[in-house]
Amino acid sequence: MLLSIESSCDDSSIAITDIASKNLVFHQKISQDSEHTPYGGVVPEIASRLHATQLPLILEKTKPFLKQVKAVAVTYTPGLSVTLLEGVTMAKALCLMLNIPLIGVHHLKGHIYSLFIEKEAIFPLDVLLVSGGHTLLLKAKNFAEMDICAKSLDDSFGESFDKVAKMLNLTYPGGPIVESYAQKGNPMRFAFTIPLSHYKDVAFSFSGLKNSVRLAIEELKQQKNELSLQDKYDICASFQKTAIAHLVQQCGKFLQYSKNLNFAVVGGASANLCLREALQELLGQNRHLYFAPLEFCSDNAAMIGRVGVEAYLNGVFSDLDLQVIPRTSEIL
């Protein structure tokens, strides 16, 4: 069995995965949404302190399995340095105590392997990764070779949902609530421009769209002080439609040059059902589209454990002086 830990942002999570069958034996995650809602985003110091209390509570429940654990996998990059440190420190302590090897896992590789929890991996694969920290297109050839082909020039897709939610005084994280408001709104009421429509290369950008939303809200406030619930629904619907149209447009460009038959969308924001439908339509019948189960789209230790199993089977281990790396490296 392999124990895995995730603490790169605001989810404290630990999993135990059976190495031979790749089945999940134990998995728990404690999110911190309500603690960060007053700030409209994650406050690193609060997140770090919550990991320090929550991770040991989850670890306690893995006690019956500890004797059978053969390695510990932990997210060490990218993420918030103070929160990554909580997981990495716990992982090192466990490795020393149990005298077993450590496996440092790249968080983005974890998101890609969220597709393969309790399953065999499928490669080669083109991947759209949409999370709070990243919006990327990648080519994944196999476990060891994954290249970033395109990324956001500014904000990420998920982050833009968080910022729109904050402007409308909605809860954090913004993705689920903006999606649910959008279902009740008129997507044609506000004509936001699709970003980078005439851009030659494949890239993403959400800060211009975010500003257009801010200006639309300010204009409404000048007219009537308070936004009605319907105003908020319509803003969310118009914003979401434009943000998804932008992703689809850039993926369309990317797919013109890729012969790969397998395409996947992963990351917290891949839970968005309108995005899933729009990508399904883009890909049509000629390519296979893969999604992670909804419960494994956002950050979790099960996906880190799935990478850990692959690393263990390939003999890829880390030194016990593994350091956290907050920035995103180009190599996964």
Which residues of this protein are in contact with Zn ion, per CB under 5 A?
A: 131, 299
**Interface with ligand KG4 (CB under 6 A), residue from 105, 271, 301, 307:** 271
- Residue 110 binding partner per list ligand KG4, Zn ion, none, with a CB distance cut-off of 5 to 8 Å that depends on partner kind: none
- Residue 40 binding partner per list ligand KG4, Zn ion, none, with a CB distance cut-off of 5 to 8 Å that depends on partner kind: none
b/e code 240-265 from CB counts within 10 Å (16+ = b): bbbbbbbbbbbbebbbeeeebebbbb
Tokens 């896992």 locate to 105
Under the binding rule (CB under 6 A), the answer on residue 174 touching ligand KG4 is yes
Distance between terminal CA atoms of the chain?
Answer: 24
Q: With CA atoms as reference, report the closest residue to 218 among 206, 193, 230, 235.
A: 235
CA atoms within a 13 Å half-sphere pointing along the CA-CB vector of 245 = 15
E strands within the chain?
2-6, 11-17, 24-31, 71-77, 102-106, 125-130, 135-140, 146-151, 262-266, 288-291
- Residue 272 binding partner per list Zn ion, ligand KG4, none, with a CB distance cut-off of 5 to 8 Å that depends on partner kind: ligand KG4
Minimum Å gap between C-beta 156 and ligand KG4 is 7
Under the binding rule (CB under 6 A), the answer on residue 291 touching ligand KG4 is no
Under the binding rule (CB under 6 A), the answer on residue 12 touching ligand KG4 is no
Minimum Å gap between C-beta 217 and ligand KG4 is 18
CA distances from 22 to 19, 55, 144, 177, 306 (A): 5, 23, 18, 33, 7
Q: Which stretch binds ligand KG4 (CB under 6 A): 54-62, 204-212, 224-232, 266-274?
A: 266-274
Tell me the residue type at 178.
V
Under the binding rule (CB under 6 A), the answer on residue 298 touching ligand KG4 is yes
Size of the site for ligand KG4 (CB under 6 A): 20
Paired with 140 in beta bridges are 125, 146
How is residue 298 written in tokens? Answer: 């956002």
Under the binding rule (CB under 6 A), the answer on residue 6 touching ligand KG4 is no
Coil/strand/helix, residue 43: coil
Question: How far apart are alpha carbons 191 and 169 in whole angstroms?
Answer: 22
Based on CB atoms, which residue is closest to ligand KG4, 77 or 212?
77
- Residue 135 binding partner per list Zn ion, ligand KG4, none, with a CB distance cut-off of 5 to 8 Å that depends on partner kind: none
- Residue 87 binding partner per list ligand KG4, Zn ion, none, with a CB distance cut-off of 5 to 8 Å that depends on partner kind: none
- Residue 182 binding partner per list Zn ion, ligand KG4, none, with a CB distance cut-off of 5 to 8 Å that depends on partner kind: none
Under the binding rule (CB under 6 A), the answer on residue 110 touching ligand KG4 is no
- Residue 174 binding partner per list Zn ion, ligand KG4, none, with a CB distance cut-off of 5 to 8 Å that depends on partner kind: ligand KG4
CA distances from 287 to 111, 126, 264, 279, 281 (A): 21, 11, 10, 11, 11
Q: Which residues of the chain form contacts with ligand KG4 (CB under 6 A)?
A: 9, 131-133, 158-159, 161-162, 173-176, 179, 267-269, 271-272, 298-299
